[in-house]
Every structure is written in structure tokens, then in C-alpha cells.
Amino acid sequence: MSSNSPQKFWYGGLASGCACFFTHPLDLAKVRLQAAPSSGENLVSVAVKIIRHEGFFAAYNGLTAALLRQATYSTARFGVYEKLKEFFTQQTHHQLNAIQLLGCSICAGAIGSIVGNPADVVNVRMQNDKSLPLAQQRNYRDALDGLYKVCRDEGAKSLFRGWAPNIVRGVLMTSSQVVSYDLAKRFLVTSFSFDPTTKSTHFTASLFASLVATTICSPADVIKTRIMNSSDKANDGPVQILLRSVKKEGIRFMFRGWLPSFVRLGPHTILTFLGMEQLRKWRFGMKD
């Protein structure tokens, strides 16, 4: 993403929300797989089980919460990242290096994770609800109903359940995703004479970013999913969850769902960055 390209604060949230319509079924399968107590499932078996037992449209369970998450988390992290990058570029009068981009992304990821945590809690629960025993299902009608019932039944503090691993994941996701995209795009342009305005350049850079982001974020994503899906009063922290899971399932549990994560994150990352670049090209929402 060029630092001197016009950018509205909400471009990232809008592009991520549009991408969500295409990738939500994959995200649903990923959450189910990560929350499962055993590793006997895979992406295909989970997807088939959802459609067979819950119907085709069950693949979009929790869509309202996913869209709310993109409207909060993605808008904040992409917007803050671009604003910080723009500010420091103006201050230094040169293209930011990898360390400077990393600093911007860490701040943006932390802020986005805090802003998006309530929607993320509801999102995880709505996606995993039908896999629970009938007596444990929460049956949120939509994202707003979920926010209300969490506050009513568990207290408003529960909306920030899993905030610590979520911030870790948000920082890892944002830094690995946007920084690797920026650096990959810069490398393609300077080393291989790619045109920075073409979709092929944006596609290649975003594909690389999705590979990096999936691998780096997988452990934090699995732990975050398990904490948010829990309603135990004990409210075990990420360290307890990590130790207990490693003891029962081995260290490989941290990469449970890597393939569905990549299958979901790859298209989502590509569609998001293509969308953001297109919004810039169109100068959407800007006055000439």
C-alpha cells in the first residue's frame, strides 16, 4: 500500500466486510475445528457435518457478528495503521523501513483488538453454537442480541473475555499481514519491475501476506477461540489453557486448523487488499 495513496479511515473495514461474505463459511469451519476437544476432524469433515446436520445456510451462522467484528476490529486496525504510516512518513520525509512499519502495525493491532473484542466474543460463540449440546446452546438471534445476552447473563466484563490472547493475535495478525503486504509489494515493484497499480501485483503481495499471517497467528488464534467459547466461571487464563491443552493434545494443537485458517485467511486477505486498493483507485467517498 503506497503511503501517499488516498485512504479513508474506513476503507479497511468496508473491504474486510465485503470479503467476509465470501469467506464466512470457511471461518465457521475453522472455529469449529479449533474449539473441538480432539484432533480427529479436518476441514472437509467439519464442513460436511455442518451442512448434513444443520443445513446449507448454517454455513452462515454468526454472519451478523462477523460483519460487526469487521466493522470494529478491521476498521480500527487498518485505519490506525494507515494514519500512523501517513503521519510518520510526513515527519521523516522518506519511505518507512520494516522496523518503522512494524511499530505502526503493533499499535494498530492492539487498538483494533480492544475495539473488536466484544464482537469477536459473540462471533466465536455464534459460529460454534450448533456444535454444542442442546442444553448449552446460547441461541443468539444476531450480534446485537448476543451482546445484550452476554451482558445480562455474564456481565459486561465477559465481552472482554480472552482480551489478552486477542491483543496478541491482533498484533501478530496486523503486523504479519499489513507489513508483509507492504514489503512484498515494495519488493515486487523495485526488484521485479511490477506495476504497483495492477491487480496482479496486489494479488501476489496479499497471497504472500496471508501465508505469513496464518503461520504466525495460528497458536494465539486457537487459544483465543477456546477462551472466548468458554463460559466457565473459573475463567482460566491463556497460560492455563495453553498448559492444559499441551498436556492433553501435544504441542501440535497450536496449529490445529492451520489449513482451514489459510484457506479462509488467504481469500479474505486477497479480497481485502484488492478491495482497499480499488477503493483508493476510485477515491471512494472523497471529494475531488
Average pLDDT over residues 183-210: 96
Joined together, the cell numbers standing for residue 72 give 470494529
Rounded-to-integer distance, Cα 219 and Cα 254, Å: 4
Give percent above pLDDT 70 in the chain.
94
- 11-282 belongs to CATH 1.50.40.10: yes
Question: In the prediction, which pLDDT does 3 show?
Answer: 46
Question: In the prediction, which pLDDT does 219 show?
Answer: 81
Mean pLDDT of the chain: 89
- In this predicted structure, the answer to whether residue 1 has a pLDDT above a threshold of 70 is no
Q: How far is CA 280 from CA 4, 67, 84, 273, 285, in A?
A: 11, 22, 17, 11, 10
Average pLDDT over residues 123-133: 88
User: Locate cell 473441538: which residue?
Assistant: 36
For the chain, state the CA radius of gyration: 19
Q: What is the DSSP string of 173-231?
A: HHIIIIIHHHHHHHHHHHHH---TTSHHHHHHHHHHHHHHHHHHHHHHHHHHHHHHH--
Residue ranges of domains in the chain: 11-282
- In this predicted structure, the answer to whether residue 2 has a pLDDT above a threshold of 60 is no
Q: What is the DSSP string of 115-138?
A: HHHHHHHHHHHHHHGGGS-GGG--
Lowest mean pLDDT among 3-7, 63-67, 221-225, 244-248: 3-7
Q: What's the whole-model pTM score?
A: 0.85
**Per-residue confidence band for 190, with pLDDT thresholds at 50, 70 and 90:** very high
The packing angle between helices 258-282 and 43-54, to 10°, is 80
Chain segment 104-118, per-residue pLDDT in tens? 999 999 999 999 999
Comparing C-alpha atoms, which of 269, 220, 271, 212 is closest to residue 245? 220
User: Locate cell 504472500: which residue?
Assistant: 208
Question: In the prediction, which pLDDT does 202 show?
Answer: 97
Average pLDDT over residues 87-99: 94
Question: In the prediction, which pLDDT does 288 show?
Answer: 63
Rounded-to-integer distance, Cα 150 and Cα 138, Å: 10
The packing angle between helices 258-282 and 199-229, to 10°, is 130
Rounded-to-integer distance, Cα 275 and Cα 269, Å: 10
Question: In the prediction, which pLDDT does 232 show?
Answer: 61
CA angle (263 as vertex; 259, 266 as ends), nearest 5 = 125
**Per-residue confidence band for 234, with pLDDT thresholds at 50, 70 and 90:** low
> Quick count: other Cβ atoms within 10 Å of Cβ 265?
26
- In this predicted structure, the answer to whether residue 29 has a pLDDT above a threshold of 80 is yes
Phi, psi of 132 (to 5 degrees): -85, 160
Half-sphere exposure of 154 (CA within 13 A, CB side): 21
Comparing C-alpha atoms, which of 122, 118, 224, 125 is closest to residue 166? 224
- In this predicted structure, the answer to whether residue 204 has a pLDDT above a threshold of 60 is yes
Question: In the prediction, which pLDDT does 39 show?
Answer: 58
